[in-house]
Chains A and B, each alone.
Chain A
Amino acid sequence: METLDQIFVLSKKGILDFLGTFLPEWVVTLACVAITIKAIAVLGPVTMMYLTLMERKVIGRMQNRIGPNRVGKWGLLQPLADGVKMLTKEDIVPHGADAVSHFLAPILIVIPSLLAFAVIPFGRGMTPVDLNVGVLFFIAVSSTTTIAIFMASWGSRNKFSVLGGMRSAAQMISYEVPMVLSVVPVILIAGSLSTNDIVLAQAGWGGLKWFVFTPWGFFAFIIFFLCGVAECNRSPFDLPEGESEIVAGFHTEYSGMKFALFYMAEFMNSFTVSGLAATLFLGGWQGPFLPSWLWFFLKTYALIFVMIWFRGTLPRIRVDQLMGLAWKFLMPLTLVNILAAGLWYFTEGAARWLITASILAGSFWLLTKLNRGYTPEKRVYLFAE
């Protein structure tokens, strides 16, 4: 059990020990870094490839279809076939496009998504880089995708792209704020910015100490996840690429592998955001019986499944409603949530539950009342004989 839990750590150690027998120490140190980088660089794209398959399968089932099943058993080789197709497609650069930013954007968008993998604790002792400012690093790195998206939209010299880029910039900036603020309570209670320490702070009581099972944690989790979905440009917040409105948004003018890189970034982002949500609120890799890394992947894929579920069922919301939701609803709620977490920290027993839960429920109720413009109207329909 213990070996299975630590299988990746042990195999890395084994390789390094083997290298240490005949190589100088500085080479082994380099190899240690290289192995970790290699693991992430393989994990990212492979995750993306199979997330596309998973998304197509799950949405297919939701839509009374089977989904891809021609290439390999259950369509398992479909991602490879797609990859070959993408690589062999013609790479079209529009006439009049800004060649440099058009070329660089798809590359730059993948880098932050890969970097974000570095601080995700995949299992016990399996955080690639256990930074003491891990959460901050994640947020800082993932917010830079906006620049790449805007480069893509501006460089394409296409009006649909510009509209998509503008939407993306506005959306990412406004969703960044509640997302960061929703993490603050976690940091406050765990007392650390390191992702590993945050996971350890949720240990014990057979999973009941997960932060999601506290009033502030529950609200923070919902807000973090919603903002994460918006950050990844996924439905129902997929306005920057809103297919039915602005064709494909910022990647309208991309084809072949460059287009695939945008998709790769999107899927890797949804993986890392789900992974971080699992880390911050769902106890990360902790869980009974199964190896720790399996627990992490189970939780992450459950969250990704929810994202796909959103995509299969929800219509898109409009750009002003999107902004309204972020600034008028999520933002004040996160601020109240920080207060609630502070009170939780200083009180004990049943009182902390009562105080935080009532504050949050009250402000939730108040905010829904204040945002009345969005509640559905009741309609009456007449019938003429």
Chain B
Amino acid sequence: MTEKTFSLHGAGDMDTQTLEINIGPQHPSTHGVFRMNVVLDGETIVSLKPVMGYLHRNHEQIAENMSYTGSMPYTDRLDYFNSMSNNFGYAMAVEKLANIEVPERAHYIRIIMAELTRLVNHVSVIGFLLNDLGAFFTPVLYAFREREKILDIFEEVAGARMMCNYLRFGGVKYDLSPEVLARIAGILKKFPKFLEEFETLLTKNEILCMRCQNVGVLPAELAVSASVTGPMLRASGVNYDIRKADNYSLYERFKFRVPLGQKGDVYDRYYVRILEMRESLKILEQAVKEIPAGDIMSKKMVPFLKSPRNFKPPVGEAYARVEAPKGELGYYVVSDGTAQPWRYHVRAPSFINLTILEDLCIGQKVADAIIILGSVDIVLGELDR
């Protein structure tokens, strides 16, 4: 060991050393196998380097050696909390590439699923954030109780709770039965009550306010220049929601607002998510009410369900993006006219939002770094790909 002991220079002038410490990859609060190389002065963070790649699975390369449909289930594994949104982005990219029209009902189903996913994600992220704050699992379990109800719906429509693999190019795999729609409507009735309960317990809690307010402040300029997206960007007060900016799918038909924070600290990121859930509920209510009857799959694409390797989009490239719960999730697909994409790339919001972690953490305490990481909302499956 090369550690030196403390030495005294003159009266009361203590020469202290910094302490280098690796938080992760085996740590209860790094949300997966992620490592932060932290240099501490006492408890204050002097520098922080995120180290990632422990969960690298060659996602993009695998997709380039697969049929287009074949990598749909792999997108589930990107952000394993939000498989529906991941499917959504990928399906949109390939549809753009091959010029496929999607029937209206399928659009509605996709939007319903994407918004349900947003509820699942935000509610569990807030739970995990509170866990990072040191609340002993209570908020997480309250959140998971609600999450389970939505996962039950996913299981009923897609057959899987988390790895849904539900969307197909040109539509969705299975139709929504009226019973499922009724169940979704039932959830929509109860969810606001749960949110109110959650908020009563958390939003004005003094310890939560003490810990979260003015911690990890992300200025709007930095957020924009680092191309941070999603709730994290909006908590800093930048009005940028791809559902509004791109009007993809049928989002322009729905009335909803985009909540914006002002300070950009952990508390704003927490609260913007709560407000976003309320807006998602509005979208869901409208979608469930107005969902039209009709096909769930474009006629052109039905034959390829049985023979995915015959699906060969024309030569070209396409980029499609969705407002995933974590931010802008983009898929870039290049076709050379064969059954496999020539190039496939994912713009993962977890990864890009994480790039500013050091700027947020310097000068804060160790405990703050943990909650800042929690408020960034990362999923390692997507971050490392």
Contact = CB atoms under 8 A, between A and B. Distances in A.
B43 A163 contact: yes
A312 B21 contact: no
A379 B261 contact: yes
A379 B257 contact: no
A379 B268 contact: yes
Contacts of A159: 19, 21
A315 B261 CA distance: 23
B268 A320 contact: no
Given A59-B136, A244-B134, A379-B271, A317 B207 contact: yes
Contacts of B182: none
Given A163-B366, A244-B370, A319-B43, A382 B260 contact: yes
Interface residue range, chain B: 35 or more
Interface string A152-174: 00000001101100010000000
Nearest to B256: A385
A160 to B, nearest CB: 7
Interface string B3-39: 0000000000000000101000001110000000000
Contacts of A247: 27-28
Contacts of B1: 96
Contacts of A379: 261-263, 267-268, 271
A346 interface: no
A319 B45 CA distance: 14
B207 A243 contact: no
Contacts of B137: 59, 63
B209 interface: yes
B259 A383 contact: yes
A288 B242 CA distance: 68
Interface in A303-326: 311-321
Nearest to B131: A244
Contact of B210 (A246, A317, A384): A317
Interface in A49-82: 59, 62-65
B239 A245 contact: no
A59 B21 CA distance: 33
Contacts of A377: 209, 213-214
Contacts of A59: 136-138
A231 interface: no
Contact of A63 (B138, B205, B368): B138
A235 to B, nearest CB: 6
A381 B271 contact: yes
B258 A384 contact: yes
A380 interface: yes
Given A64-B145, A65-B141, A311 B27 contact: no
A381 B261 contact: yes
Contact of A315 (B130, B241, B365): B130
B259 A316 contact: no
B365 A320 contact: yes
Nearest to B1: A96
A317 B262 contact: no
A321 B209 CA distance: 12
B142 interface: yes
A384 B134 contact: no
Contacts of B145: 64
Interface in A360-385: 374-377, 379-385
A236 interface: yes
A242 B134 contact: yes
Nearest to A321: B210
B190 to A, nearest CB: 15
A107 B190 CA distance: 52
A312 B257 contact: no
Given A245-B367, A376-B206, A381-B260, A316 B28 contact: no
Contact of A318 (B21, B135, B241, B367): B367
A266 interface: no
Given A319-B365, A380-B262, A64 B130 contact: no
Contacts of A64: 141-142, 145
26 contacts: A59-B136, A63-B142, A64-B141, A160-B21, A163-B21, A236-B207, A242-B134, A244-B28, A244-B29, A245-B366, A313-B135, A314-B207, A315-B134, A315-B135, A315-B205, A315-B211, A316-B207, A317-B211, A318-B367, A320-B43, A376-B210, A377-B214, A379-B262, A379-B271, A380-B262, A381-B260
Interface of A: 59, 62-65, 96, 159-160, 162-163, 167, 235-236, 238-239, 242-247, 311-321, 374-377, 379-385
Interface of B: 1, 19, 21, 27-29, 40, 43, 130-138, 141-142, 145, 201, 204-211, 213-214, 237, 239, 241, 244, 257-263, 267-268, 271-272, 275, 365-368, 370
Given A62-B138, A163-B366, A244-B134, 10 more contacts: A245-B134, A245-B367, A313-B138, A314-B205, A320-B365, A377-B213, A379-B268, A383-B257, A383-B260, A384-B244
